[in-house]
């Protein structure tokens, strides 16, 4: 019988056996929240996954539901770049899988997290984007507390 305890980002980090009292570290994944989740045409939202206690060979895979965005994933798989190319919304999900591509679960639940992104890509936003590009304004939206190894 296991009792759960909460960790950083409301992700379960460890389980305690109620019979023997041993602490068992379990895999956990959470998305580091960016400074905002609504982006305009031409902007790129940088989304970083935080993984703890992953088994050897595990990796993060990203999936997307919705429209209006372009996607790219960093070489290490820990960072996802969502670019606004049209109006819409998208749900971005990060899931931890083992070396064979099987979803890792804890208590029957996938080790995953998701974030919803609102995209503003109408005509006015395209004109604003054009002006921002002329003045070379940085178009990335990131978390202030993340360590970004592969930020382009």
Question: Mind listing the pLDDT tens digit for each residue in 47-76?
Answer: 999 999 899 999 999 999 999 999 999 999
pLDDT of 12? 47
Q: Residue 118: CB partners within 8 Å, gap ≥ 6?
A: 37, 38, 39, 89
pTM of the predicted structure, to 2 decimals: 0.79
Least confident interval from 62-76, 95-109, 128-142: 128-142
Left if phi > 0, otherwise alpha if psi is -120 to 50, otherwise beta: which for 102?
A: beta
pLDDT of 5? 39
pLDDT of 140? 81
Q: Residue 133 pLDDT > 50, yes or no?
A: yes
The residue whose two tokens read 């909460």 is 6
Q: Residue 82: CB partners within 8 Å, gap ≥ 6?
A: 39, 44, 45, 47, 64, 69, 70, 71, 90, 92, 117
pLDDT of 145? 54
Check: CB of residue 62 under 8 Å from CB of residue 96: no
140-141 and 44-52: which strand pairing? parallel
């Amino acid at each position: 019988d296991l009792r759960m305890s909460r960790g950083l980002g409301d992700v379960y980090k460890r389980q305690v056996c109620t019979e023997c009292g041993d602490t068992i570290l379990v895999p956990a994944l959470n998305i580091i929240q960016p400074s905002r989740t609504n982006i305009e045409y031409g902007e790129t939202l940088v989304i970083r996954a935080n993984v703890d206690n992953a088994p050897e060979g595990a990796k993060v895979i990203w999936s997307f539901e919705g429209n209006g965005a372009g996607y790219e994933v960093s070489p290490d798989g820990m960072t996802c770049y969502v670019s606004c190319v049209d109006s819409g919304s998208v749900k971005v999900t990060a899931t931890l899988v083992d070396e064979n591509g099987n979803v890792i679960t804890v208590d029957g639940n996938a080790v995953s997290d998701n974030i919803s992104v609102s995209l503003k890509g109408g005509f006015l936003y395209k004109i604003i984007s054009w002006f921002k590009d002329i003045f070379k304004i940085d178009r990335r939206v990131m978390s202030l507390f993340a360590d970004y190894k592969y930020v382009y």
